[in-house]
Amino acid sequence: MKRKIIIGFLIVAVISVVSFKLFQNSTSNINPEVITDLVGTIYFTERVDEVLTLFKSDASLQNKTLVYSHKGKGND
């Protein structure tokens, strides 16, 4: 009985790893020209020197400008 449970868990683990790899490969082949045709502005955060910093950019991520950076005094 324990052997069947262990084999079941191994099969589920192998299937999940294989499906994750297949999904990862299928999404990495997205056409890069799709990004260049986007318009608009996006805001995103990024860690710079261990400080969480807010940036603003156009949708194609060509013109990245700093909006806000704050080094807090907390214990984080």
Q: How many domains is the chain partitioned into structurally? A: 2
Q: Which domain holds residue 8?
A: 1-30
Q: Same structural domain for residues 25 and 41?
A: no
**Looking at residue 60, what is its pLDDT?**
74
Q: Same structural domain for residues 43 and 19?
A: no
Q: Same structural domain for residues 24 and 38?
A: no
**Looking at residue 35, what is its pLDDT?**
63
Q: Same structural domain for residues 51 and 65?
A: yes
Report residue 51 as tokens. Answer: 């400080």
Tell me: the pLDDT tens digits for 14-50?
999 888 877 766 655 556 666 666 778 889 888 888 8
- What own/partner pairs with CB < 8 Å and gap ≥ 24 does 36-39 have? 36/60
- Are 55 and 41 in contact, with CB atoms under 8 Å apart? no
Q: Is the dihedral of CA 60, 63, 64, 66 positive or negative?
A: negative
Q: Same structural domain for residues 22 and 53?
A: no
Q: Same structural domain for residues 38 and 11?
A: no
Q: Same structural domain for residues 23 and 39?
A: no
**Looking at residue 25, what is its pLDDT?**
64
